[in-house]
Amino acid sequence: MLVFFKERLAFLSVPKTGTTAYEAALAPRADIVISEPPMLKHAPVYRYNRFIRPMFEKVCGAEMELMAVMREPVSWLGSWYRYRQRPFMQGKTNSTHGISFDDFVLAYMKGDKPGFADVGSQFQFMKTQPNGTGITHHFRYEDQPRLKAFLEDRLGIELSLTRENVSPQMPLALSPNIEQRFKRKFADEYALYESIL
């Protein structure tokens, strides 16, 4: 998570959406950088609302606008699947070694997910809270020029990005019938993604 106090902007770090590259580029410009532990680096809206927003409200009398990046849902799961294929993951409970992408997505669709498929939800990460705290600025991972232009304009800087924390490359294909089931079950994820211009 990155906070730019003067600009009243907090950049929430949705896992597997390329935010580590932005953190590396913007950390020197940010007023607050939360890069560890992962539960705070990747604090979703509800955690931001409960622990971080009150700090700014009570101490500074300030409210931040929130921004976040969302990836196309199957692509997002593909990134998690590939990330958990890294060699050192072999033998760990959350490894995807020896599991097909179809089986990974089927496991993700279960109510009680096995460890290797328990990766959260972009929709739940960004869900607006009952007090109205929610994402002000949504961006698609697939539209990097729009995201970069927004940050450059808002922060008055020129960004130079490098690739960070990249999942291993491998071809992935999801069976059409599983993809249809996934899209039906996670219609909220797709509705949010489609709403981002």
Close Cβ partners of 191 (under 8 Å, ≥ 6 residues apart): none
Q: Provide the pLDDT for residue 197.
A: 85
Kindly report, residue by residue over 151-191, the tens digit of the pLDDT. 999 999 999 988 777 777 888 999 999 999 999 999 999 99
Closest listed residue to residue 95, CA positions, set 112, 113, 73, 115: 115
What is the side-by-side strand order in the sheet with 9-11? 32-33, 2-4, 9-11, 65-70, 137-140
Per residue in 24-66, pLDDT (tens digit) is: 999 999 999 999 999 999 999 999 999 999 999 999 999 999 9
* CATH (domain of 28): 3.40.50.300
What is the count of structural domains for the chain? 1
**Mean pLDDT for the chain?**
95
- Domain with 60 in it: 2-195
| Exposure class string for 151-177: b at 16+ Cβ within 10 A, else e | beebbeeeeeeeeeeeeeeeebebeee
Q: Please give the helix or strand (H or E) that residue 78 lies within, else none.
A: helix 73-83
pLDDT on residue 50: 97
pLDDT of residue 167: 74
**Which pLDDT score is estimated for 169?**
83
Q: What is the pTM of this model?
A: 0.94
List the Cα angle 108/168/3 in 5-degree steps: 75
